[in-house]
Structure 1
Amino acid sequence: MSRTERSDDRPRPRWRDSLWGVGVIALVVGAGVRLVLHGASAWPSAVVGSVPVAVLLVWWTRRRRRQDAEAVGTEPDDVPGMDRRILRGGPVPRDPERRRAMAALVDSRQERLRRNRWWAFPTLFLVFFGTSALWFASGSVGAGSMMLGLAIVFMSWLTWYNLRFDRRLSQMRGRLRD
């Protein structure tokens, strides 16, 4: 049986779901940002400086997947596929055990989303709009205006994404109940 044909209804794994994929992406993005900030001649320090961040991100991703898998009773490798299925409105698993695990993951995600909403939005609002106010207060109208624009765009996107994710979780929960 090939990787695309599976006897159960688990989604096919993707390269970016593997911990190696997460590490490589983090290393490339980290090195790219450092190269943009410090110039192409600083490539050795950009790569070496990005390694600890990539390792930390892989460790955090592995830990979170393991915790999510233990909480819902599935394997850590199944969590990214289940998340993708929830976000994209994919098919509901036919296997009762996998349905139960996905329902537990949906409940966990929705509870965490709603629990952290009360402090995350005000904190980010304060950081972005406070930074903009500080730039204006220091007399830098250009930097203040750019930060204000970034704050408006980012907070609008974050609000839209949060509501969309909550709606998708509710829709999947309803589909799992049917």
Structure 2
Amino acid sequence: MKRRERRDEFSQPRWQDRLSVIGLAALAVGLVVRLLLDGAESWPSALVGAALMSAWVVFLVRRRRRRDARDTGAAPDDVPAMERRILKDGPPPEDPQARQTLAALVDSRQRQLRRNRWWAFPLLALIFFGTAVLGFASGSVTAGSWTLALAVAAMGGLTWFHLRFDRRLSRMRRRLQS
């Protein structure tokens, strides 16, 4: 059996990285959620709404990959493999060009993460805890309590994921510098 040659360090695309797979997954999830919420008899509008949402998701993923590729100097198809390497705390690439590309992606992600932190967390806290306050203010202690518990869980989870991702980016940056 003949092995395909890799063109560089990141060029192992996976089936889940394809935009068509991402679009079909978004279509399936959107359709199921709409059918569960609106009932099976509303399938035409659910299908149209899910198709529009799916197209929007594919557009956003494609735009982000192109922007990351432009910022790092990599091909758009290589961005998911670089992200996987960061998220799985993989070893840094041996190739100096690939190391430089990955370092540029790490720097870009850390800038975005830290730039949006100052407004995203307070806004989400306002939405989550404000909903709980409205539940208590309306006189429903049960709804307010459940909403408060969900708000604490959601903010705790978001904070944990944020710190975890920032630590992984920092670890990868240190590995790339050594």
8 Å contact kept, 2:11–2:77 = no
Return the TM-score normalized by structure 1: 0.93
Task: Give the match for residue 94 of structure 1.
Answer: 94
1:7 Cα deviation from its structure 2 partner: 5.8
**Cα distance in 1 for residues equivalent to 2:140 and 2:13:** 48
Q: Give the superposed CA RMSD.
A: 1.5
Task: Give the match for residue 146 of structure 1.
Answer: 146
8 Å contact kept, 2:65–2:79 = yes
**Cα distance in 2 for residues equivalent to 1:124 and 1:23:** 27
Counterparts of 1:1-178 in structure 2, within 5 Å, are: 1-2=2-3, 6=6, 8-10=8-10, 12-178=12-178
Q: Which runs of 5+ in 2 are unaligned?
A: none
1:149 Cα deviation from its structure 2 partner: 1.3
**Greater alpha carbon shift after TM alignment, 107-116 vs 14-23:** 14-23
**Cα distance in 1 for residues equivalent to 2:100 and 2:124:** 34
Return the TM-score normalized by structure 2: 0.93
8 Å contact kept, 1:106–1:173 = yes
1:143 Cα deviation from its structure 2 partner: 2.2
Q: How many residues matched?
A: 177
Which amino acid letter does the alignment assign opposite residue 119 of structure 1?
Answer: W
**Cα distance in 2 for residues equivalent to 1:10 and 1:83:** 10
Which amino acid letter does the alignment assign opposite residue 132 of structure 2?
Answer: S
1:11 Cα deviation from its structure 2 partner: 5.6
Which amino acid letter does the alignment assign opposite residue 14 of structure 1?
Answer: R
Q: Which runs of 5+ in 1 are unaligned?
A: none
Q: Percent identity?
A: 59
Which amino acid letter does the alignment assign opposite residue 93 of structure 1?
Answer: P
8 Å contact kept, 1:11–1:82 = no
**Cα distance in 2 for residues equivalent to 1:151 and 1:91:** 36
Which amino acid letter does the alignment assign opposite residue 8 of structure 1?
Answer: D
